[in-house]
Amino acid sequence: MEIKQPQLGKKISELRKAKGLTQEELVEKCNLNVRTIQRIEAGEVTPRSYTIKALFEALDFQWEADRIVDENQAKPKPIYLYLAFGAGLLYFFLAFYEIGMEYEWIEAGVVNNKPAFTAIKLITGVSYLCFLGGLLALEQYFPNKILKIALWVMIGFNVVLYSLDMLALHSTMLNIQDYYWIKLEAFGLAYAFLGASYLAFKQVKYGLAQVIGALGLIAGILIFSGIGVLFGLLPLTFFEIGQLGLMIYFIQKIGRPSSPDSPAIG
């Protein structure tokens, strides 16, 4: 019978308690640290075979290395996550054209090539929503409740504001100047919230999540302020690149055993 997390952690906890040992006493017997024991018993990580051997030997328990299975090994990498990454790349490059054409629209009050602008708007809007959907899907593998809420907020703002843009572009009922500052503040707020949510990933390697989160937070604040919109585009660009990088990092983590010997995602 195979043992996998969280059953492995429960088994170690039961054996430790049956021996009348505290976590601190157990780590002294197998040369580990308390935090490692806590994470193993909580089922947060699957330790490597020599770590399991040291624990079971300290607990006088007979074990077989081939019985330990990480539950993530049974999880394939869903193809839609790669499609979402591709959508994010498409959005990243097309967004430059969209921003430029939107700036001309605001300045002139009219759009010279309405079909082309409409097509770019639709493609960037749909591709960005697909990318955000991919990040939402990753949340089931690497839980982050704050990020989940922030992503839904961003999705909601995009649906509403892109709909307003289409209405203003193809009818006389609305003018973009009527709501442009509201649009900036809404996106600024959403980006600040999204950036702050990445700070919750405490154990992504090299603190990259904190750097990326800080960039999103700074960009969102600058865009929200209105006076710093142009300055906010630089950190926003690096934030979007960082999100793409994190998506690939998360995708590659699916199916790999997470162990105390290598940093895991918090």
Is there a single domain that holds both residue 40 and residue 109?
no
Per run of 10 residues, the mean pLDDT along the chain (length 266 residues) is 72 89 86 85 82 85 55 64 97 92 86 92 97 94 91 97 94 90 93 95 82 96 82 93 94 63 38
Query: Of 35, 69, 103, which residue is a domain's last?
Result: 69
Domain extent, residue 30, equals: 3-69
Is there a single domain that holds both residue 217 and residue 87?
yes
> What is the pLDDT, as a whole number, of residue 50?
75
Query: Of 51, 69, 87, which residue is a domain's last?
Result: 69
Decide: 229 and 184 in contact? Cβ < 8 Å: yes
Q: How far is the CA of 40 from the CAs of 11, 202, 243, in angstroms?
A: 10, 17, 29
Is there a single domain that holds both residue 83 and residue 213?
yes
User: Residue 7: inside a domain, yes or no?
Assistant: yes
Note the maximum CA span of the chain. Answer: 79
> What is the pLDDT, as a whole number, of residue 70?
44
User: Residue 266: inside a domain, yes or no?
Assistant: no
| CATH number for 31 | 1.10.260.40
Exposure letters 133-165 (e unless 16+ CB within 10 A, then b): bbbeebeebbebeebeebbebbbebbeebbebb
> What is the pLDDT, as a whole number, of residue 255?
60
User: Residue 259: inside a domain, yes or no?
Assistant: no
Decide: 84 and 131 in contact? Cβ < 8 Å: yes
Decide: 75 and 142 in contact? Cβ < 8 Å: no
Is there a single domain that holds both residue 65 and residue 92?
no
> What is the pLDDT, as a whole number, of residue 1?
43
> What is the pLDDT, as a whole number, of residue 266?
38
Is there a single domain that holds both residue 7 and residue 89?
no
Split into its structural domains, the chain has a count of 2
The DSSP secondary structure of 158-182, one letter per residue, reads HHHHHHHHHHHHH-SS--HHHHHHH
Query: Of 69, 87, 116, which residue is a domain's last?
Result: 69
User: Residue 223: inside a domain, yes or no?
Assistant: yes
The pTM for the full model equals 0.70
> What is the pLDDT, as a whole number, of residue 36?
86
